[in-house]
Structure 1
Amino acid sequence: MLALLTVGPTSTAFADTIQTGASVCNMYINSIGFGAYCSNGQPYLGGAAKPPPTWEERLRGRPFVPCRDFPIPPGIRLPQAPEGKKWVLRVTITDYKLNTYDGGKDAHLERAYVPVGPAEEAQCPFPDYMEPFWYYFKSNYPPPSLVVMPTFSPRVNIPAYFSLTAESAKVEADPKANPGAYSGYINPTHNLSMRALVVEMIVDPGDGTPAFKCPMGVTSVDDPDGYDETKDPDQQINPCKHIYKKSSASQPDGMYTVKLTITWEAFYWIGKDAGGWKSIGTADVTAVQRLPVQEVQAIGG
């Protein structure tokens, strides 16, 4: 069953700008999702024996426009823009050198949320020929889907085990099989890819007892709920459990309101020799689940 997603004010975590292949990239994560902005992010498709052209050669005499305006990422709350203006995320390439194929070792990206009107927008145009110098991708988290075992309607005095479905606890794509998903493809050895995983869940069971933390990822991928139906409820490996002492019959609609705080962590990967996935930070998502809890019924009674 899908939980009702509720999002409050958000903060955004950023990784340091990284250089990967011919790109300079900056990444973000917040309570809505994650993504990246890359300069020169589209691949150069020239022959392997031919050196890639410099930025100056690719421009062919046209002016280099170092900035680009993007929509404000979801989850960012800003005050009302001044009359006649709108908020944009302005990303600017700085300290670049046009006589290099990747902007040079000092090139990096600067981000700013700015209100713009026609005059300010004209300061940062985006002509078609600048398209190959940029790449942008993003992903939102899937709606949380709570699993309760051994039955969705727990019984009084019997442990109830909580988990998320595998589909609602990760966002990822195989950077080798599908380099275009959540990634900026550079070449076979430099491919900025991103993924996010749920690493912790705090459960407020709604019955007046304290909330408790549940580490995620402690069960196998092919058995995300960690519940072995051949074993008793007291012999399960999933550490995320709660024992209700009273039924929910007296609660509104006969159900407890379970509150979840789900912590996502985003990672990036920049090639087979880059040392694996690196974390860029975490963000919390809150959700609410209505849960009926029933009395244990005796046989024949």
Structure 2
Amino acid sequence: MHNRVGRALLALSAVLALLVAVPATTASAETIVTGNSVCSMYVNSVGFGSYCSSGQAYTGPPYTPPPTWRERLAGRPFVPCRNFPIPDGIKLPQAPEGKKWVLRITITDYKLDSYNGGPRAHLERAYMPVDAAEEAQCPFPDYMQQFWWQFQSTYPDPALQIMPTYTPRVNVPAYFTLTPGSSMVGKGDGRIYTPEELTSGYFDPQHNLTMRGMVVQLNIDPGDGTGEFTCLTGTTPLDNPTGYDETQDPYHQVNPCKHVYKKSSASQPDGMYTVKLTITWEVSYWIGKDAGGWKPIGRADVHAVQRLPVQEVEAIGG
């Protein structure tokens, strides 16, 4: 059984196609203060990220006061705004002739004689069409790098697992799950959260900010005309994410995300059903153990399709 499923997953990866539909409207959290930074975050159907002012947290001895922004500048002018590329997933109309769209983020209500910009400092975002002169209103000299930090992540390609076998049988329940690596986005450096970190949270000592994305819902249209059904995540054990116990028969499993095909796919194009997936991601942030744990920013949907053969056999085997 294990070898057959392993081979099936290899075949599955070859036919799974990610289709990003019209992106969802960007959902932004309120500006947050984290350590010596203020951050603005976003989430859409392509990915999520944050823009923070003030850069890395001060890590000097506790008896040494952190430098103020004015001291960091050392007599150089403070440039409160910066132009960024438009984040992936944001759809805008054609820019006027001679202009291009930029994401302009401005640090406002700041105080230079504070180590973190002061209690009222926050970020403002605007999508703006600019020409060369307007773009130059927000130069980015090297010394301003210390006041900015950017984080962004995209969702992994979905990898759908089907149990007990990749090729479902007629009248035998087929169980659907996403692989753990394709249903979670971790720390921004390619690492995925462990179950312990998901329970206790992850603390970033440099910025005191961590963002994560997790699949919270999976809508599946099995392609046989029976209509879409919804599966919620978090219903299977952490030590067995598929929720499938191979010591039990297919009719007695804990995973509620299942479908029973009543007809084979022999009459379908290429002999396979076209399974449509809507994968709902929820993005959250964490700013330390005393800040109330993970706080959701927003949700976004990612769409994918899967070609799935179904055989007219009422036994598992083959």
Q: Does 1:283 align with 2:300?
A: yes
Q: Which residue of 1 aligns with 2:218?
A: 201
The answer to whether the Cα contact below 8 Å between 2:38 and 2:53 also exists between their aligned partners in 1 is: yes
Q: In 2, distance between residues paired with 1:41 and 1:258?
A: 45
**Displacement, 1:83?**
2.0
Letter in 2 for 1:141: Y
Q: In 1, distance between residues paired with 2:244 and 2:142?
A: 54
The answer to whether the Cα contact below 8 Å between 1:40 and 1:102 also exists between their aligned partners in 2 is: yes
Q: Which residue of 1 aligns with 2:7?
A: none
Q: In 1, distance between residues paired with 2:152 and 2:127?
A: 18
Q: In 2, distance between residues paired with 1:36 and 1:62?
A: 26
Identity %: 67
The answer to whether the Cα contact below 8 Å between 1:192 and 1:270 also exists between their aligned partners in 2 is: yes
Q: Which residue of 2 aligns with 1:138?
A: 152
Q: How big is each residue's C-alpha offset from its partner over 1:166-202, in whole Å with a ceiling of 9 and x where there is no partner?
A: 0000011399x99xxxx99565xx6100011000000
- Pairwise CA RMSD: 2.1
**Displacement, 1:272?**
2.4
The answer to whether the Cα contact below 8 Å between 2:184 and 2:215 also exists between their aligned partners in 1 is: yes
> Per the alignment, do residues 185 and 223 of structure 1 end up closer, same or farther by CA in structure 2, a change over 3 Å counting?
closer
The within-5 A match list for 1:1-20 is 1-2=12-13, 3-10=16-23, 11-20=25-34
In structure 2, stretches of 5+ residues that fail to align are 1-11, 193-201
Letter in 1 for 2:257: C
1:269 to 253, 266, 286: 286
Q: In 1, distance between residues paired with 2:133 and 2:51?
A: 24
Q: Which residue of 2 aligns with 1:22?
A: 36
Length, aligned pairs only:
293
Q: In 2, distance between residues paired with 1:23 and 1:166?
A: 32
Q: Which residue of 2 aligns with 1:168?
A: 182
Structure with greater helix percent: 2
The answer to whether the Cα contact below 8 Å between 1:42 and 1:185 also exists between their aligned partners in 2 is: no
Q: Structure 1 residue runs of 4+, over 3 Å off?
A: 183-187
Q: Does 1:239 align with 2:256?
A: yes
Q: In 2, distance between residues paired with 1:218 and 1:49?
A: 49
Question: TM-score, normalization: structure 1?
Answer: 0.93
The within-5 A match list for 1:66-145 is 66-145=80-159
The answer to whether the Cα contact below 8 Å between 2:37 and 2:57 also exists between their aligned partners in 1 is: no
Q: How big is each residue's C-alpha offset from its partner over 1:78-124, in whole Å with a ceiling of 9 and x where there is no partner?
A: 11212222111111011111111111111111001111221011100
**Displacement, 1:225?**
1.0
Task: For residue 57 of structure 1, give the secondary structure of its aligned residue in structure 2.
Answer: helix
> Per the alignment, do residues 170 and 138 of structure 1 end up closer, same or farther by CA in structure 2, a change over 3 Å counting?
same
The answer to whether the Cα contact below 8 Å between 2:169 and 2:315 also exists between their aligned partners in 1 is: no
Q: Which residue of 1 aligns with 2:238?
A: 221
Letter in 2 for 1:8: A
**Displacement, 1:298?**
7.3
Q: Which residue of 1 aligns with 2:272?
A: 255
Q: Which moved more, 1:1-10 or 1:159-168?
A: 1-10
Letter in 1 for 2:297: I
The answer to whether the Cα contact below 8 Å between 1:24 and 1:41 also exists between their aligned partners in 2 is: no
**Displacement, 1:57?**
1.2
Question: TM-score, normalization: structure 2?
Answer: 0.88
In structure 1, stretches of 5+ residues that fail to align are none
**Displacement, 1:276?**
1.3
Letter in 1 for 2:301: D
Q: In 1, distance between residues paired with 2:293 and 2:178?
A: 25
Structure with greater strand percent: 1
Letter in 1 for 2:67: P
Q: Does 1:157 align with 2:174?
A: no
**Displacement, 1:145?**
0.4
Letter in 2 for 1:19: V
The answer to whether the Cα contact below 8 Å between 2:285 and 2:295 also exists between their aligned partners in 1 is: yes
Q: Which residue of 2 aligns with 1:65?
A: 79
1:42 to 20, 36, 56: 56
> Per the alignment, do residues 114 and 192 of structure 1 end up closer, same or farther by CA in structure 2, a change over 3 Å counting?
same
Q: In 1, distance between residues paired with 2:315 and 2:149?
A: 62
Q: In 2, distance between residues paired with 1:24 and 1:44?
A: 14
